[in-house]
Amino acid sequence: MKKLMFSLIAFSLFLASCNKEETQGTIEEGITTSEDLATLQNLTQDTEDEVDFYVDAVNTNTLVTDECPLITVSPDDGSFPRTITIDYGTDGCEGPRGRTRKGQIIIEQTDSLRLEGAERTVTLQNFSIDEVAIEGTKYWTNNGFDASGNISISREVSTSITYPNGDQASWEANHLLTQTAGGDTQAWMDNVYEISGGSSGTNRNGVAFSVSITQPLVKSKNCPWIQSGIKEFSFGDRNRTLDYGDGSCDNQAVVTYNNGQTRTIRIRAWWR
C-alpha cells in the first residue's frame, strides 16, 4: 500500500512539473511584462525616428527654427564632432504621428552615422512622450559593412520610464541593427533595419525579465511600429513569445504562453 501511495504521489508531482498550469497571476504578470517591454521598445524607436528626422534636417539645411521644437547645433558650420539639441520646452509640442513631447533630446555625434567608426550618443533630459517620462542614454556605433554588404550598427540602450500613475519600468539592451534597405540613398525615410540581440529589465511591478530576439525585428522608418519579428522573454520560471506579425504596419503584437494560448496586446498608450 505504501509503495502504491508513493507511486501515485511521484506520478502526480511528475505531471505537475511537466504541465505547469497558467494561474491568473502569472497570466497577468506576463501581460504586464509584455506591455512594458513593447512600450520600452516602441518609445526607444520613436525617439530614434525623431532624432533621424532632425539630424537629416540639419544635414540638408531644411530646419524650421521658429517653431517648436527649438533646434540648436554646435558648431553650426557643418563640421564634426557636433551637438544637436532638440528642445520641446516644458509645455511640449505635438510632433510627427500625433505624439506630444516635452523636454530635451541631446545628440552628440563624432561624424555622419553613415560612415564606419562614427558614433552617436543620445541623452534625454526631463523628456517625456504622451506624459510618460523617459530617462537614459543610447549609443550607436557604425561597424561598417557586414559580409552581405549591409551597414551594421551596434546600439546600446539604458533607459527607464515612469508612467503617469508613477509606475516605473527599466530596460538595458544590446542590439545589432542591420540596414536592409535605403543604404544606397541619402534619404532616411526609406531605411529599413533588422534588429537582433538581447535585453533585460524590470516591469512596473518590479519583476525582472530577460529577452532574446529569436527572429530579427523589422523596423522601417516610414512606420512607427515594429512590423515583424519574434522575441522570447522570461520572468521567474515562465517563458513567453512576443510576435510582431507579418510585416503590416500596426500597433499590435501577439503573446503566446507555454500552453499555446495566445493574447493580442496593443503597443501604444495602453495607460490612457
19 lies in some domain: no
Provide the pLDDT for residue 268.
Answer: 64
126 lies in some domain: yes
Q: What is the mean pLDDT of residues 102-106?
A: 97
Q: Which residues does residue 94 pair with via DSSP β-bridges, in sequence order? A: 100
Provide the pLDDT for residue 63.
Answer: 78
255 lies in some domain: yes
180 lies in some domain: yes
6 lies in some domain: no
Are the C-beta atoms of 253 and 244 separated by less than 8 Å? yes
Number of structural domains, the chain? Answer: 1
Q: Which residues does residue 209 pair with via DSSP β-bridges, in sequence order? A: 201
Give the domain range for residue 52: 26-266
- Nearest to 216, CA basis, from 203, 198, 239, 202: 198
15 lies in some domain: no
Question: In a 10 Å sphere around its CB, with 0-12 CB exposed, 13-18 middle and 19+ buried, how is residue 121 labelled?
Answer: middle
20 lies in some domain: no
What would you report as the CA-atom Rg of the chain, rounded to the nearest whole angstrom?
22
- pLDDT bucket at 182, cuts 50 / 70 / 90: confident
Looking at every residue in the chain, the average pLDDT score rounds to 87
Span 240-270, pLDDT tens digits: 999 999 999 998 999 998 888 898 888 866 6
196 lies in some domain: yes
Percent of the chain exceeding pLDDT 90 equals 60
Span 70-81, pLDDT tens digits: 999 999 998 999
Residue 4 scores a pLDDT above 80: no
Q: Which residues does residue 254 pair with via DSSP β-bridges, in sequence order? A: 243, 264
